[in-house]
Each structure stands twice: as C-alpha cells, then as structure tokens.
Amino acid sequence: MNNITPYSSPHYFIYLLLLLLPIMIGLWFGKRLHVYDFFATVVILWITFFGGNMSQGISLIFYILYEMLLVFIYLSYRKKHNNFWIFTTFVVLAIVPLVFVKLDPLLKNATISLFGFMGISYLTFKAVEIIMEIRDGAIKNIKPYEFVRFLLFFPTISSGPIDRFRRFQKDVLKVPSRDEYVELLHSGVNKLMQGLAYKFIIGYFFGTLLLPKIQILTLSYRGETPLGISWALVAYMYVYSMYLFFDFAGYSLFAVSISNFMGIKTPMNFKAPFKSKNIKDFWNRWHITLSFWFRDFIYMRLMFTMIKHKWIKNRVNIANFGYLTLFLIMGFWHGETWYYIVYGLFHAGAMITNDAWLRFKKRHRKSIPSNKFTHAFAVFLTFNVVCFSFMIFSGILDKLWF
C-alpha cells in the first residue's frame, strides 16, 4: 500500500471514519479514550507516512525527537534564566529542519532534506510557538506526551489549521457534555459536507476540468503578444483563484470537521475571504491561523523590538518595515522562486498602500462618501487585487516569460 495523502481519496475517509467511531461513541457517553486516541493516531500516521515509501515516516520520527529535545532543554533552561540570545538560538534551531527542506529544491541536493516530510511547515509553526510561549511564561510546564499529541494531532498534521497549544490543551483535557458534543457533531457533519462540495465538486471543476484547458490557451500566447498578456491570462487568474480557494478551504473544512468529531474545536481557516473590504481584512479571513501566527510571532514581536530599541522612530515607517519583513518571510516560506517572493512583496505593498489610504480617509472622512456603493467597490477592488496576487503565486508568469 502506498502512502495516502490526507483527505485525498475515498480510502482515506473510509479508514478515518472507521477509526473515529470508537472515539465518537466514547465522547457520546462522556469519556475520552486516550489509549485508543493514541492507537488511532498511530494507524493514521502509518497509512500517511509509512504506507509505501517509509522515508517520510522515518524523517517524521527523527524530526519529532529533535524538536522535543529542543523544547525540553529550553523549558529546563527557562525555569532559571531568560536570556534573549539563548531564546533566539533555540528558535533558529527549531526552524533549521524546515530551512533545509525549503533549500533542497534550490540546491538540488537531496541529502540535506533529512527532515523532508509532508506537513513539516505546520509542525514547525507549532514547535516554535511552544518555545516562544515558554519564553513569555505563558507555558510553564509541558509533558512529553502532551507535546507529541499536540504536534501529531492527525486531522491537521499535513496542512493545518495551525492550533495553539494552550487552546488545544483545554479541549483535550475537557470532555464535552452531551449537548456540547451534539453541537460539535452537527458542526462536524456540516463542515464535512461543505468540504466535500468545495474540494471534490467545485474545486474539481475549476482545478481539473477548467484550469488545464485555460492554461494551454494562456501559454499559446507566449511570444505572440507583449509579455504573453492575453484575455486567456485574465481568465486563468480568476479560475486559478477559485481553484486555490475551494481546494484549500475544502481541505481545511475536513480538518476542522474531523477535529469536531474528536471533541476538539480546531479554529477555522477561512471566513468568506472574497468578501473582504480591503487587503488587511482579507488577511483576517484567508488562511487565518497562518496569518495570525505570522502576526503574533513575527510581526508584533518585531514591532515591539523596534519600538523598544528605537531603531526607527516613525511609527508608520516601523509598520511598513514590518509588512515588508513579514511578507518577504512568507514568500520565502512558500518557496525560493522569484514568483513566491514577488507575491510576498506584492502583498507587503498592498498592505502599505491600504494603511496609507486608511490614514488619508480618516483625515478626509467628511469629504469621502461611505455607502453601499463604495463598500461594494471596495470588495470588488480587493477581490481583483487578491486574484492578481494569486496569478503571480501560481507561477504561470514564469512559464510565459521564461
């Protein structure tokens, strides 16, 4: 049997629902079956990482041991000391495996990606969060099995959503009442059905039936028009954007749904992002757990450090520098290709422009109309800005130009 990517095939859902049944029965009767939860996790991890090619599974084991060692060494250190540079060293060490994996395609050297397995980014975000909150004093103690359970929570292991340790612990340690669990089951079923519609019907239509045809048409203009620009490229921009949303949102709905069946309230990852009135509003609705992670653990900490040390005195310039840093990191996180980096810089520019507009609007609020028409125009404009950024992200321009 080959490795099965989570939520990608009927076989995975069959295995999943069979394994979930005892967990659901236990929660229905007010009991959380911790031993069985561990067994179900091992089975799911086995079919995901050890089913055929075992290299991913072996990498996962070494990665967990490595991150666990870092976390517990730092936890022991933090109980007596709080040196910033020691903290920074542990954060850097925690992300080293991810850096190696991200550099692997660029260097074309498979030997450096020892930790290459599906979901390493999201596990790294969780591990770094724990180290940062240990430093903040928000996490004062954590047991090895709690650390492993949090990182290897199988509904979200491959692509999120990215939960927070303390929020996750509250759910795990609490058994929901019958009424609460009925609500979770109702929520889980609704999200499962919505996810099936998003990923396997709408996402399939845009991504499998429509996108390849439009891509062929788009690439047919290469060398025929300036920069290959055509109406086909515009169509590609919208179709790819729809595919990206429905495919990823469908996956996230599956993850939240299965979490609900297990009595865990994993946070939602999308909240009608194409209804956003500006680009900042968009990032509060799109890949929410990732954008909030970057906001809380990179942007806000960078802002605090810059203000504290007075590296830049002007608050606007501090915010702008923060946007550039944040989205540049996000671009590199997606990959070391020019279009991912340009995608990040584009969003940084959009955030800077949006903030400038909001400041201008605040100063001239009496002369700038605010009504249903202006709101609709703002949503329309934001939607098109976002779709344009997704066209950059897709890599179609790389194929057209190079």
Catalytic positions: 334
Rounded to 5 degrees, what are φ and ψ at 163? -85, 170
The number of residues making up the chain comes to 402
Quote the distance between the C-alpha of residue 92 and its chain's center: 20
The DSSP line for 243-270 is: HHHHHHHHHHHHHHHHHHHTT--PPPS-
Give how far Cα 386 sits from Cα of 32, 185, 209, 351, Å.
43, 34, 23, 12
The structure tokens listed for 259 are 């979490």
Collapsing DSSP to helix, strand or coil, 365 comes out as coil
Q: Which residue has the tokens 């606007």?
A: 316
The structure tokens listed for 37 are 């939860």
Q: Which residues have C-beta within 8 Å of that of residue 149, sequence separation ≥ 6?
A: 41, 172
d(CA 125, CA 161): 11
> Residue 168, exposed/middle/buried by CB under 10 A (0-12, 13-18, 19+)?
buried
Burial 119-151 (b: 16+ CB within 10 A, else e): bbbbbbbbbbbbbbbbbeeebeebeeebbbbbb
Number of H helices, E strands in the chain: 18, 0
* The amino acid at 64: I
Query: Residue 254's closest CA among 300, 296, 217, 203?
Result: 203
d(CA 309, CA 311): 6
Give how far Cα 184 sits from Cα of 26, 28, 148, 295, Å.
14, 11, 24, 29
